[in-house]
């Protein structure tokens, strides 16, 4: 059991039978009345974010989450097929556990499988991935780097906005948390 004084970003707790991760929190000491803690919690299974206010010193159960690196092999019939790189054991997990990040999964890429008490509750992709642009409008002479953006389809099927100077065949670095273009990379 932990209490509100143990709060830190990234800590996982069990609330109403579900697992939540603390996104942010703030201790508040009003001039009148008792102290309390405001928090934003993200549901580990659904990804929904809720706001919750706690009385100072309130206790709750900590959820111990384990992360294991695995290699993504392929997706079939709504399941992701993953392999443990050390034991070569293969597992199948529901593709809904990857959430919106599944659009960045590429055969052979490494993912983190999040488990709680032996059951898989999530699949996380790296924060940054390098992918090839498969389809986009061609750049036109006069387009500048500070100009605007255009849609580009990446090799995994994800569509992001890229600057006008990015062309088909270029490799780009993408932030998977915000679905944004970061830079063009040379490999």
Instruction: Decide if 143 contacts 114 (C-beta within 8 A).
Output: no
State the average pLDDT over residues 157-163: 85
pLDDT in tens, 90-115: 888 887 777 777 888 888 888 888 88
- Mind listing the domains of the chain with CATH numbers? 2-62 (2.30.30.30), 65-124 (2.40.50.140), 129-185 (2.40.50.140)
The full DSSP string for 99-165 is: GGGGGG--TT-EEEEEEETTEEEEEE--SEEEEEEEEEPPP-TT--TTS-EEEEEETTS-EEEEETT
For the entire predicted model, the pTM comes to: 0.68
Which residue spans within 16-89 are E strands per DSSP? Answer: 18-28, 36-43, 49-55, 59-62, 65-76, 79-83
What pLDDT is attached to residue 140?
Answer: 62
Distance between CA 53 and CA 64 in Å, rounded? 22
- Band (147; pLDDT cuts 50, 70, 90): low
What pLDDT is attached to residue 146?
Answer: 57
Q: Is the pLDDT of residue 75 over 60?
A: yes
């Amino acid at each position: 059991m932990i209490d509100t004084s143990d709060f830190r970003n990234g800590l996982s707790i069990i609330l109403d039978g579900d697992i939540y991760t603390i996104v942010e929190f703030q201790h508040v000491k009003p001039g009148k009345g008792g102290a309390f803690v405001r928090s934003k919690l993200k549901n580990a299974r659904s990804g929904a974010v809720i706001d919750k206010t706690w009385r100072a010193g309130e206790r709750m159960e900590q959820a111990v989450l384990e992360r294991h690196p695995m290699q993504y092999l392929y997706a079939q019939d709504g399941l992701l097929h993953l392999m443990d790189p050390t034991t070569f054991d293969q597992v199948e997990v529901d593709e809904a556990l990857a959430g919106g990040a599944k659009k960045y999964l590429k055969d052979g890429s490494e993912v983190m499988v999040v488990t709680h008490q032996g059951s898989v509750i999530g699949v996380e992709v790296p924060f940054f991935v390098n992918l090839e642009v498969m389809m986009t409008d061609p750049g036109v002479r006069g387009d500048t780097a500070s100009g605007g953006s255009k849609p580009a389809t990446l090799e995994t099927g994800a569509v992001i906005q890229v600057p006008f100077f990015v062309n088909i065949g270029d490799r780009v670095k993408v932030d998977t948390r915000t679905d944004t273009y970061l830079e063009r990379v040379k490999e």
